[in-house]
């Protein structure tokens, strides 16, 4: 499988009731109450889900909303905060963070550099494309950011992983969503997750 295909993708785990994160997000609980259980399939059954994990790790650049970078709102006041992932984030490439407030780039160990984009979703995508050429780009989240890119018709493929849990409240992936139609092209069922791959109808 080649990943130098120029695709813009997204991969999100959701609960049976449609949430990508639970309620009461904090610095120590970034996915909210119960949210970590959405990703049990990745850590407890890596072999059964290897093809999906491969696609999650394949992109060469990532775009995320500010809330996915951290819980800080408004002006940047905590210069020590460098994201949820510790000194060596899992991205190993450029990450473009959507924000209304300028911030200098933050280089991290392992090849990740966070760049902060104040000029909108299309410019963030253009910067990512300039950085990686025909490499794959991931719209990493959160839900609001993915919805914006879907509504603009800028995501080619999205893998929705349904975990067999109910969160009751939190942040829904498709809340208030209206955008281009998606068509399912593949389904992988494993004991802890059902992965449905959708592509945008052109």
Is residue 78 a part of any domain in this protein? Answer: no
The whole-angstrom distance between residue 46's C-alpha and the CA centroid of its chain comes to 19
172 assigned to some structural domain:
yes
pLDDT in tens, the chain (202 residues): 568 889 999 999 999 999 999 988 887 888 889 999 999 999 999 999 999 999 998 999 999 999 899 887 889 888 888 988 889 999 999 999 999 999 999 999 999 999 999 999 999 999 999 999 999 999 998 899 999 999 999 999 999 999 999 999 988 888 877 767 889 999 999 999 999 999 987 6
Residue 83 lies in a domain: no
Q: Cα(139)–Cα(11) distance, rounded to whole angstroms?
A: 8
State the residue range of the domain holding 51: 8-24+31-71+89-200
Residue 1 falls inside a structural domain: no
- Tell me, yes or no, whether 15 lies in a domain: yes
Q: How many domains does the chain have?
A: 1
Could you identify the residue written with the tokens 């109450």?
A: 33
CATH number at residue 195: 3.40.430.10
What backbone torsions phi and psi does residue 150 show, to the nearest 5 degrees?
Answer: -65, -45
The answer to whether position 140 is within a domain reads yes
The pTM of the full predicted model, rounded to 2 decimals, is: 0.93
Q: What Cα–Cα distance (Å) separates residue 36 from each residue in 3, 33, 65, 127, 196?
A: 28, 8, 19, 31, 20
């Amino acid at each position: 499988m080649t990943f130098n295909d120029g695709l813009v993708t997204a991969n999100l785990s959701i609960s049976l009731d449609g949430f990508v994160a639970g309620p009461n997000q904090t610095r120590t609980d970034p996915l909210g109450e119960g949210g970590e259980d959405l990703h049990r399939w990745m850590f407890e059954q890596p072999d059964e889900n290897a093809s999906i994990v491969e696609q999650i790790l394949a992109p060469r650049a990532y775009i995320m909303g500010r809330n996915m970078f951290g819980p800080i709102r408004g002006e940047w006041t905590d210069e020590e905060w460098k994201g949820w992932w510790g000194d060596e984030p899992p991205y190993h490439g450029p990450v473009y963070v959507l924000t209304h407030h300028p911030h200098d780039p933050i280089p991290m160990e392992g090849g990740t550099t966070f760049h902060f984009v104040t000029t909108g979703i299309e410019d963030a995508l253009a910067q990512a494309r300039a950085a990686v050429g025909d490499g794959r780009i991931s719209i990493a989240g959160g839900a609001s950011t993915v919805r914006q890119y879907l509504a603009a018709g800028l995501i080619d493929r999205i893998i929705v992983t349904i975990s067999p849990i109910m969160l009751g409240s939190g942040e829904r992936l498709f809340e208030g969503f209206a955008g281009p139609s998606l068509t399912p092209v593949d389904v992988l069922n494993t004991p802890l997750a059902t992965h449905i791959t959708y592509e945008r109808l052109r």
